[in-house]
Structure 1
Amino acid sequence: MELRQKLCRKGYSETVVEQVIAELASQGLQSDGRFAEVFTHSRVEKGYGAYRIRQELRQHGIDVNQALENDRDWDELIRKTYVKKYGETVPGSIEERAARERFLRRRGFDAEQIRRLFKCLRQPESK
């Protein structure tokens, strides 16, 4: 869809654009599924959660369900994202916790994932 929009904005007729995209797809040179897979992987590597990735894929006109079907450990990803920014530290105040929660929400993690993360941070691991 994004390719279609870009070509139409450049002034190509919709008929020509449709023919070119169909030809590229038949040759395996254009695939929304492949784009979604690569895009999702890239955003996960940068520490973004499922909600944010879904929004961005929708903006690109991609079927969101197909892109996020791979099993991912979102709890591990939120932990890595948190530790990269704040270390293993537990927030010292309610305001600090709220700021950290807002950061994680902007990254696309949901409230349940954030709750589990903070619960895990409070419990020291026994070795």
Structure 2
Amino acid sequence: MNGARPALSLKGRALRYLSQREHSRPELERKLARHTEDAEELARALDELQAKGFISEARVVESVLHQRAAQYGALRLRQELQRKGVASAAISEAVAGLADSEFDRALALWQRRFAAATDAREHARQSRFLLARGFSGAVVTRVLRHRPDNAD
């Protein structure tokens, strides 16, 4: 025995990826394509995994929202789901569900990260931070104008 590990099948590799986190079908296709030149074999393996429920777009969306919604705004989450190859309808539905909590999530992030803006320069820095996190300009304005004694 030389101690070499046998090569994993495409399904084995896919299951290894899926055991680490949820992956969309397009993500798995990209990752597994370099391990085979047979596109039909790859499609069959992914079809089988999807039929058995190992690949689920709904779980990918749920996972991303669960892990990232407290840190990012709807725009950034939309981009991340698009990069993962999630269908447009599922993305729209997921992002629409975040609309009600957008201000509260942005405010909580801002409160964890910053104190009140003391001057225009600090205000601009905080604004850029929240905008880069994918919160809309209207939400950022509301957060930066928020006063703890206000019931905004």
C-alpha distance in structure 2 between counterparts of 1:119 and 1:113, whole Å: 10
Residue by residue over 1:41-76, the C-alpha shift from the partner in whole angstroms, topping out at 9 and shown as x without a partner, is: 10113x111111111111111122243343451111
What is the CA-CA distance between 1:114 and the residue it aligns to? 0.6
Q: Is the 8 A contact 1:40 1:68 kept in 2?
A: no
Correspondence for 2:131 among 105, 110, 113: 105
Is 2:77 the counterpart of 1:77?
A: no
Calculate the aligned-residue CA RMSD, in Å: 1.8
Query: In structure 1, what is the equivalent of residue 75 of structure 2?
Result: 51
Q: Is the 8 A contact 2:36 2:42 kept in 1?
A: no
State the structure with bigger RCO (CA 8 A, min sep 6), 1 or 2: 1
SS at match of 1:70: helix
C-alpha distance in structure 1 between counterparts of 2:92 and 2:37, whole Å: 31
The percent of aligned pairs where both chains have the same amino acid is: 26
Is 2:42 the counterpart of 1:5?
A: no
Task: Name stretches of at least 5 consecutive residues in structure 2 with no aligned partner.
Answer: 1-25
Quick check: which has more Rg, 1 or 2?
2
With normalisation by structure 1, the TM-score equals 0.85
Q: How many residues align?
A: 122
Query: In structure 1, what is the equivalent of residue 49 of structure 2?
Result: 24
C-alpha distance in structure 2 between counterparts of 1:7 and 1:96, whole Å: 46
C-alpha distance in structure 1 between counterparts of 2:29 and 2:57, whole Å: 12
Runs of 4+ in 1 over 4 A off after TM superposition: none
Task: Name stretches of at least 5 consecutive residues in structure 1 with no aligned partner.
Answer: none
C-alpha distance in structure 1 between counterparts of 2:96 and 2:37, whole Å: 34
Query: In structure 1, what is the equivalent of residue 58 of structure 2?
Result: 33
C-alpha distance in structure 2 between counterparts of 1:118 and 1:85, whole Å: 13
C-alpha distance in structure 1 between counterparts of 2:85 and 2:34, whole Å: 16
